[in-house]
Structures are given as structure tokens and as C-alpha cells.
Chain A
Amino acid sequence: MDVLVCVKRVPAVGAEILLTADGTAIDTRHLGFTIGPHEECAVEEAVRIAERTGGSAGVLTVGPPETEEQLRYALSMGADHAVRVDTPETDPDPEATAAAVTGALGELPPYDLVLFGEASADAGHAQVGFRVACALRRPVVGGVKGIDLDGDRVLLRRESPEGVEVHEAPLPAVAAVLEGLNLPRYPTIKGRLRAKKAPIRVLDGPGATGGLRTLRLRHRPEARARTVVLGHGAAAAPAVVDVLAELGIVP
């Protein structure tokens, strides 16, 4: 079975996020880049499915040449081929991203299953997978935390407010997955070496733009007061329990 995973290059932010002087983006001068946790699980799942079924696991991203770093990461995890849809923007609007992915899927050999992360780790628009599924008229399930293959259909498990649901979809299908689907592997040295030399197929992007344009980013105002330090080590225990009692949590 052939699986394609769509990933996005995002800044690997720490505890503080710095913004650029014009406030339109995250200042990434001192940051590394990564793919989001949901997408890491999607890559892992694709690799496992390919191993189990003797199929292939592809990985695709939309963006300028530097996004190939994330494709190579996915290759080092065991993906066997990579595609970059060339667009100038590093953070395209979700309509533009979906158009680029949909266009690429029309050019590439057919995939049985196309996986997305539920939402990117930075913009979090949470819609590209559904847009692509709609454009291709494929069945789609979001929030997926379990994938079981069964011949020409796939069973997709997700959580709902009431419990757990299992959806059945005929292949080819699309799924947006969540972290927790599996425990992604760390790339091996051998994997990294292979990924370094692997060719990456580059397709031209459609040049489409969408109707949502970022004007500025800002920090959410934080209203918290200064931290009260209750003490050091075990000696702080009485002060901690005083606080718990004050909150009515312990008698």
C-alpha cells in the first residue's frame, strides 16, 4: 500500500517566542525548524504501513527549498521518497496549501492513503486535509488516533466528546491524525546518511493565494502575578499544604 504524508516546516520554539520587528512572523534567526508532533506520528504510521504491506511511504511539503530539511528528516525516519511543491511563502494560507497539495496529487502516481497532521504546530488552521479530500472527492476522517487496514478499506479510530468512534472508509482515503497514534522512532545514523543523499522531486506550485492574510502576530496578554516561592525542598511541604487547605483542596 502506498501512503503519502504531508508535512510542514515550523519553527522549533522554546518557552519564549520572539517576533520579528514588523510583528508579522516569529523571529527564527536563533531557532531550529521541525515538523509538528502530529505529523511526526503520521510519518511513523506511513513507514509502518509501508513495511507491513510492502508498499511505499512518501512525504510531501509545500514551500521554498529550505523546507527540504524537513523532508530529509522524514526520509531519515524511513520514508522512501520525498516531494517538494515549490512556493515562495514559508507560511502559505490554507487555501493555497491545499491547492498546492491537490495539484501535486494530480501529478504524482496514485496513493491509497494520504495523511495529514490534524493541525500545523504554528498556524494551526486545521483544514488543509479536509480541503484536499473535498477537492479530490475522497473520504476523510479527522482526529485519527488509530489506523487499521482491511483489504480495500481502512478503519480509522478517533475520540469524540462521548467516547471513541470507528469510521470505515473505502480506499483511497484521507486522514488527519493526532499525536498518540504511535510512538515515532528516532532516525538511525544509517537513516540519516540515506536521507542526506536521497533525491527530492520538485514540482511547481500553482501560485494560488487564498483569502486569509496575516497582518500581525502578538503575544496574548498574561495577567498572572509574580510567583510566590513557598520554599526549598522538603521543608516547603507545610507551606504547600497551607495553600492546598486555603484552596479547599485538603481539609
Chain B
Amino acid sequence: MVLVVVERDGDGTLTEDSAEVLAAARDLAESLGVPVGAVAVGEPGELPDDLVKRGVGRLHLLAHELLTDGSPACLGEALAGLVADLRPAAVLAPSTDRSTEAMAWAAAELGMPLATACTEIRPGDDGPWEVTRERAGGVLLEDAALTAPIRLCTLRPGSPSPSETAAADEMTVHVVVPELRASVPRARLVERRERAAGMTLTTAPVVVAGGRGVGSSEGYAVLEELAGLVGGAVGCSRVATNNGWRPHADQVGLTGTRISPDLYVACGISGATQHWVGCMNARSILAVNTDPEAPMVTRATWAVIGDVHEVLPAVVDEIRRRSGR
């Protein structure tokens, strides 16, 4: 069996990442000649219907009060028990924080390796499997040999997937009550605050971001103005957060937020690797920089060579002039 750890949205439906992992699992299972199983937490809801049409014939539902608050460590412990019982050929999970953490705990408990952030899995005949995984936020790819009786992997979104999946003939649902030791000290969720609605860096179609070239926290006013005019959000590079010009929540990059807007406007950002991995999935990039050789400029779709504080006010004026605002 190839076992897939699936996640659900707040409304109980399968997440997009999980659907992608299921597609990859289907491919892998076919090449191994084994079925696909899934494991999830909580009540079945719509999940069996959702899974059967994706070729999953068996669903294991983990039921335990310690799992209701979504603790990855508890999930990992429960997962390790299930995996030890089922002995699947592989366990695949989306590379979200929650699943990665749960898989890390499960791997430790099972005494097995875990390959995180994989983009491809190539099973070996008898020897080790080979995986391709993202390093340094995806700017480098690593081919690695994975030697284990059960191959544990988390998958990055955008992994190759088949076009058509045959539905499974039937679905069997097994409710599993994991043995979670009461004596073990655990972290527990004590408070949950919903994020305020509104545009965020990850959902904005346009992100106007500034780096060293903006020069000061006051310098972001013109970026705010442009973002307002184009219905976008303001982002920044690590230099800006380190200088205290912007809050860390605005930071685009390896250690900030990774975004994929339609347009990324990079103002006075040189484009170091740490930043690049945060914006490389943008559909298009407009760079504004005084240095025509800056990596951000040479990798951009469009570029304007010049100072942020000369270029952006002129762009803002031009937008206002054309729209008569």
C-alpha cells in the first residue's frame, strides 16, 4: 500500500495540496502494483466520497481526543502506530507545516528517515529509492537516495501528477483509536485566533515590495500608494525587516512568506537567493533598481533602471492621470 496523509480545510473538504499528493501516490502505487490508502483525523464527513473518486479504496480515520486540537506531535505518534501496523511501501504527506511536523515525529518513532519537500519519487527495484527534493527553499534541487523499509516523504505542491485517475471500486473506512500514552508530557492548544479577513501577501494578485533601495520606513509610503492603486499588498525584503522598516509579516523570502502573485514589483531589491525563493513563483516580475546587473533585474520580466523614489512617484502620477483620479 501507498498510504497518504490527507488534510482537510476548515469546512472538511480535502485540501488542494492533499489532492496533489493523492495523484502522485496513485502514480507511485500503480508502478509498484499496490493499492492507495489514506489516513485522516476525525469524522468521515464528505471525505470517503472525495477519496473514492481519486482511486483510494481504504480510509483510516484516527479518532482520539488528543488529536482534536491538531497537535502535530500527537498526530505523529498516532501515525507511527498505524504505519507500524500497516507496513505500507511508502507514506506520503503534503509538505505543510502540520504534516511535516507529524511525519518528522512519526519517522523518529519508527526509527526511519524522512525526505521532506520532495518534488519526485522514483522507486528502486531492490535497492534504495531515489527522491528529488527542494533545498534552500527550492532554488536548488537535491537528488537523494532513500534507504528504508517504509519510505516516508512529504511532497511539495506542483509535483508531477497524472491527468486521469480511475475511481476505486469501493471504499472501506476503518476507525482507528491510537494508543497515546497518558504519561507523556504534551503541548496542548489553549487559544486560537482567526486571522482578520482582508488581503494578505499570499492572496494578493499584485505585491509591491521594497528592499534596501527604499532607504527608510517612511520610504514605503509610495509603495503603499502604488499597492493601493493596483489592488495589491506591500511586501519587503529581509534588509527592510532587519532595519526595522517593516514588520516581519511583510517579508517575502525563504524565512518570510513565499508568494506567487500575478505580478511582483520588486523595488530596490537586489535579489539574493534568500529573497528570490520567496518570489520566484510570481507569474511576472517588474524590477525597479539603479543597478542594471542586479540579479532581480536580470531575472525579471520587465525592468526599470532607476531610483525607486523617482520611478514610483512617476508611475503613481501616470496611473492617476490616465484614470482621471
Q: Which residues of A are interface residues toward B (Cβ below 8 A)?
A: 13-17, 26, 36-38, 93-95, 98, 121-127, 129-131, 133-135, 137-143, 155-156, 160-170, 173, 178-180, 183, 210-220, 222, 224-225, 227-241, 243-245, 247, 249-251
Contacts and interface: CB of A to CB of B under 8 A. Distances in A.
A234 to B, nearest CB: 4
Contacts of B141: 217-220
A250 B303 contact: no
Contacts of B140: 17, 26, 217-220
Contacts of B323: 250-251
B258 to A, nearest CB: 12
Interface stretch (B28-36, B98-106, B160-168): B98-106
Contacts of B314: 233-237
A140 to B, nearest CB: 5
A121 B109 contact: no
B318 A228 contact: no
B139 A250 contact: no
Interface stretch (B171-179, B210-218, B266-274): B266-274
Interface residues of B, number: 101
Contacts of B303: 227-230
B116 A127 contact: yes
A168 B187 contact: yes
Interface in B273-325: 273-274, 276, 284, 286-287, 292, 295, 297-307, 310-311, 313-315, 317-319, 322-323
Where chain A touches its partner, the secondary structure class is mixed
B183 to A, nearest CB: 9
A38 B194 CA distance: 25
13 contacts: A15-B273, A94-B114, A126-B100, A126-B116, A170-B185, A211-B148, A213-B145, A215-B145, A230-B302, A236-B314, A237-B318, A240-B286, A240-B315
A131 B284 contact: no
Contact of B193 (A93, A156, A163): A163
Given A227-B287, A249-B231, A168 B306 contact: no
Given A15-B271, A134-B109, A180-B251, A232 B306 contact: yes
B138 interface: yes
A-B pairs with the 6 shortest C-beta distances?
A180-B248, A211-B113, A127-B104, A15-B295, A234-B314, A130-B104
Interface of B: 10, 70-73, 76, 96-98, 100-101, 103-105, 107-109, 112-117, 128, 130, 134-148, 184-195, 205-206, 229-231, 238, 241-242, 244, 248-249, 251, 254-256, 262-263, 270-274, 276, 284, 286-287, 292, 295, 297-307, 310-311, 313-315, 317-319, 322-323
A240 to B, nearest CB: 5
A227 B107 contact: no
B210 to A, nearest CB: 16
Contact of B136 (A13, A130, A210): A13
Nearest to B283: A247
